[in-house]
């Protein structure tokens, strides 16, 4: 040992073992806190989101676009009464059943679509989904329970002698678009689908919107699925658009999305297209346009010429006279 130097003490095995245990306990605590946080996020975010009923600040009347709709009440298989509006035409080529999104707009915003379609020979049935507007219900069904609402509409259409043999098209926006796909997957009587800004599954859109990298996204998705199972039933885990779209078979469908959608990221559209059968058509609009129709034209969609031509062209090719 050099003169003047002092010997360095080495940690004893006991001290090293204690430090290792402390580090392991800290790591375990961090993981547990992380897991608790991941588990709490769906409860904290989705709990208030699905709580109903939703009262719309704005609703519309058929008279706003020159229509005189028939107000009817639909009864779902789980006992809810839903507000709905018929727009009749003589000898319709098809009946288009409209449904809207999670918290809006009210389906009455589709009266403009109904007017445009009536000019082309299509009847419309606008259905306010459960827990929204004048329809009964205490919670949003996130596309699981709203399938029953569309099935109630199909049963109502088929019970009308004038429409008994008329093709039925499910036409939905956002959650309504996802519901249209889900309902078609389990309801053979739905002859076609038009879906705007649909999510591929609720857990997909939840995690996509958070922007989490892998593997955190996979962990969060698992907890979202767990929460959905407890709320809506684990038997419904297959009732998601990215699975049900495969069941369309030879029935025609039109998927529409905007590339920079800030509410339902474009990844959902890509997942749906990847699983879609051959007769599913697509149209993508640039920008962030969750409602798809050009700003200010939703009540008069014919003003958005590009959109109107895409929708009407699809209906003419597959369900026109």
State residue 25's pLDDT score: 76
Residue ranges making up the domain that contains 249: 51-201+240-319
Query: Mean pLDDT, 10 residues at a time, over the chain (321 residues)?
Result: 57 70 78 82 93 95 97 98 97 98 96 98 98 97 98 98 96 98 98 98 95 90 94 93 97 98 98 96 98 95 98 95 69
Q: What are phi and psi of 290, to 5 degrees?
A: -60, -40
The answer to the question of residue 31 being in a domain is: no
State residue 11's pLDDT score: 61
Distance between CA atoms of residues 220 and 248, nearest Å: 30
State residue 8's pLDDT score: 61
Distance between CA atoms of residues 97 and 85, nearest Å: 10
The answer to the question of residue 188 being in a domain is: yes
State residue 36's pLDDT score: 84
For the segment 147-172, what is each residue's pLDDT rounded down to a tens digit? 999 999 999 999 999 999 999 999 99
CB 56 within 8 A of CB 133: yes
Q: How far is CA 122 from the centre of its chain?
A: 24
SS3 state at 188: coil
Per-residue tokens: 308:
């109107």
State residue 320's pLDDT score: 81
| CATH number of the domain bearing residue 288 | 3.40.50.1820
CB 264 within 8 A of CB 205: yes
State residue 21's pLDDT score: 81
**CA distances in angstroms from 90 to 72, 98, 137, 295, listed in the order given:** 19, 19, 34, 32
For the segment 195-245, what is each residue's pLDDT rounded down to a tens digit? 999 999 999 999 999 998 988 899 999 999 999 999 999 998 899 999 999
The answer to the question of residue 18 being in a domain is: no
The answer to the question of residue 12 being in a domain is: no
State residue 32's pLDDT score: 79
**CA angle centred on 82, ends 76 and 85, rounded to 5°:** 125
State residue 29's pLDDT score: 77
Place of tokens 């999510």: 199
The answer to the question of residue 134 being in a domain is: yes
**R_g (Cα) of the chain, nearest Å:** 25
* Edge-to-edge strand list for the sheet holding 95-99: 70-75, 81-87, 123-127, 95-99, 168-173, 192-196, 253-258, 280-285
The answer to the question of residue 16 being in a domain is: no
Domains contained in the chain, number: 1
State residue 38's pLDDT score: 85
**CA distances in angstroms from 20 to 11, 15, 26, 30, 31, listed in the order given:** 12, 9, 10, 15, 17
């Amino acid at each position: 040992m050099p003169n003047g130097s002092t010997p360095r003490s080495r940690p004893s095995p006991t001290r090293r073992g204690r430090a290792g245990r402390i580090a392991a306990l800290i790591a375990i605590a961090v993981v547990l806190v992380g897991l608790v946080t991941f588990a709490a996020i769906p409860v904290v975010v989705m709990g208030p989101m699905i709580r109903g009923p939703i009262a719309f600040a704005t609703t519309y009347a058929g008279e706003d676009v020159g229509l005189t709709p028939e107000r009817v009440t639909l009864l779902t298989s789980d006992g809810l009464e839903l507000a709905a509006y018929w727009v009749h035409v003589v000898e319709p080529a098809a009946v288009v059943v409209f449904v809207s999104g999670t918290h809006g707009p009210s389906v009455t915003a589709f009266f403009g679509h109904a007017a445009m379609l009536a000019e082309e020979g299509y009847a419309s049935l606008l259905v306010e989904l459960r827990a929204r507007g004048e329809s009964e219900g205490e919670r949003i069904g996130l596309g699981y329970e709203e399938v029953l609402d569309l099935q109630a509409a199909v049963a109502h259409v088929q019970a009308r002698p004038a429409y008994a043999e008329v093709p039925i098209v499910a036409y939905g926006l956002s959650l309504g678009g996802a519901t249209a796909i889900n309902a078609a997957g389990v309801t053979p009587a739905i002859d076609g689908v038009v879906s705007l800004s649909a999510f591929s599954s609720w857990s997909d859109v939840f995690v996509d919107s958070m922007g989490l990298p892998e593997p955190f996204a996979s962990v969060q998705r698992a907890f979202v699925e767990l929460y959905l199972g407890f709320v809506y039933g684990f038997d419904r885990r297959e009732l998601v658009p990215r699975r049900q779209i495969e069941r369309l078979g030879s029935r025609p469908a039109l998927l529409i999305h905007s590339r920079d959608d800030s509410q339902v990221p474009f990844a959902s559209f890509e997942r749906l297209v990847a699983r879609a059968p051959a007769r599913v058509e697509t149209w993508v609009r640039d920008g962030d346009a969750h409602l798809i129709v050009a700003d200010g034209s939703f009540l008069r969609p014919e003003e958005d010429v590009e959109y109107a031509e895409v929708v009407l062209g699809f209906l003419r090719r597959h369900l026109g006279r």
